[in-house]
Amino acid sequence: MKKILILFCTLFIGVASAQEIRTIKLPELEQLINTNTGSLKVFNFWASWCGPCVKELGYFNALGTQGDTQVILVSLDFPEDIEKARRILEKKEVGLSTYLLDEKDYDKYITSIDNSWSGAIPATLFIDKKGNRYFYESSFEKQELDNVVNKLTSK
């Protein structure tokens, strides 16, 4: 009986801690982006197959768990690869709000995010508390990310 209880608890904890990734379309993403929260919002666009994207996930996770900065991860994986993305987030112990953008028209969502975006990832959209947008099409090291956040939150 004791072994069954331990097995049940182990399975329950594993299920309870599973990283949720919600699939959304462009209008829902635009609504998330355009909703003013009065604090810095950070949207990091990544994919499980992108090495630099996966490397910086920990930096964004740390950012999202401190202060009042809202960090949202947007996976550009194909919907059939959602489990691979979930496993990476669990392995890296990322607990941020995460969405998978399910859109076939790349040009439409890319220009919707930022006109300067070529579509390369990692890419990050920062929206300050006044609603000003700042777009970076590059990967971040932790100190670089901290510097951008400090600059945007001190305005």
Cα–Cα dist 28/104, whole Å: 15
Quick: pLDDT tens for 74-124.
999 999 999 999 999 999 999 999 999 999 999 999 999 999 999 999 999
Can you say how many angstroms the Cα of residue 98 is from the centroid of all Cα atoms in its chain? Answer: 5
> What percentage of the chain has pLDDT greater than the value 90?
79
Quick: pLDDT tens for 12-66.
334 334 679 999 999 999 999 999 888 999 999 999 999 999 999 999 999 998 8
